[in-house]
Amino acid sequence: MPADVKIDPSEDIAILPYSSGTTGLPKGVMLTHYNIIANLCQNRCAMAVPRILLLEPREECLIGQLPFFHIYGLVVILFNCLMQGVRLVTVPRFEPEAFLECVQNYKVTRILTVPPVAVFLAKHPIVDSYDLSLIKEVFCGAAPMGTEITMALMDRLKIPNHRQGYGLTETSPIVTIGREGVFVPGSFGILVPNTKAKVVDTETGEAVGPGEDGELCVLGPQVMKGYLDNPEATASTINPEGWLLTGDIVRYDEDGNFYAVDRVKELIKYKGFQVAPAELESVLLGHPGVQDAAVIGLPDEVAGELPKAFVVKKVDDVTEKDITDFVAERVAPYKKLRGGVAFVGEIPKTPSGKILRRLLKDMKE
The CATH number covering residue 207 comes to 3.40.50.12780
3-state secondary structure of 155: helix
Do 114 and 127 reside in the same domain of the chain?
A: yes
Mean per-residue pLDDT, 113-139:
90
Output 54-59 pairs: Cβ under 8 A, ≥24 positions apart.
54/84, 55/80, 55/81, 55/84, 55/86, 55/110, 56/86, 57/84, 57/85, 57/86, 59/109
Do 101 and 187 reside in the same domain of the chain?
A: yes
Helix (H) or strand (E) holding 147: helix 147-157
Cβ atoms of 11 and 30 within 8 Å: the answer is no
Mean per-residue pLDDT, 59-85:
92
Residue 22 binned pLDDT confidence (cut-offs 50, 70, 90): very low
CATH code for the domain of 300 = 3.30.300.30
Do 254 and 340 reside in the same domain of the chain?
A: no
Mean per-residue pLDDT, 182-194:
92
Mean per-residue pLDDT, 6-22:
85
Do 192 and 319 reside in the same domain of the chain?
A: no
Instruction: Check whether 195 has a pLDDT greater than 80.
Output: yes
- DSSP letter, residue 178: P
Distances (CA, A) of 104 to 78, 125, 128, 340: 20, 16, 12, 37
Scored b (16 or more CB within 10 A) or e, 19-34 reads bbbbbbeebbbbbbbb
Distances (CA, A) of 152 to 10, 34, 257: 44, 39, 22
Rounded to an integer, what distance in angstroms lies between the CA atom of residue 199 and that of residue 214? 5
Cα atoms in the 13 Å half-sphere on the side-chain side of 313: 11
- % of the chain residues with pLDDT over 70: 93
Would you say residue 125 lies in a domain? yes
Instruction: Check whether 272 has a pLDDT greater than 60.
Output: yes
pLDDT recorded at residue 116: 78
pLDDT recorded at residue 57: 85
Across 124-133, 312-321, 329-338, 352-361, least confident range: 352-361
Mean per-residue pLDDT, 230-243:
95
Rounded to an integer, what distance in angstroms lies between the CA atom of residue 94 and that of residue 81? 19
- CA distance between the termini of the chain: 60
Rounded to an integer, what distance in angstroms lies between the CA atom of residue 6 and that of residue 194? 27
Domain that residue 219 falls in: 13-263
Mean per-residue pLDDT, 64-74:
91
What total number of domains does the chain contain?
2
Residues near 351 by Cβ (< 8 Å), separated by ≥ 6?
Answer: none
pLDDT recorded at residue 359: 87
Would you say residue 2 lies in a domain? no
Q: Is the peptide bond before 115 cis (omega within 30 degrees of 0)?
A: no
Residue 355 binned pLDDT confidence (cut-offs 50, 70, 90): confident
Max mean pLDDT range (13-22, 52-61, 162-171, 176-185): 162-171
Instruction: Check whether 352 has a pLDDT greater than 60.
Output: no
Mean per-residue pLDDT, 328-333:
95
309 or 19, greater pLDDT:
309
Question: Which of 242, 263, 284 is at the close of a domain?
Answer: 263
Query: Comparing C-alpha atoms, which of 34, 39, 16, 40 is closest to residue 26?
Result: 16
Would you say residue 287 lies in a domain? yes
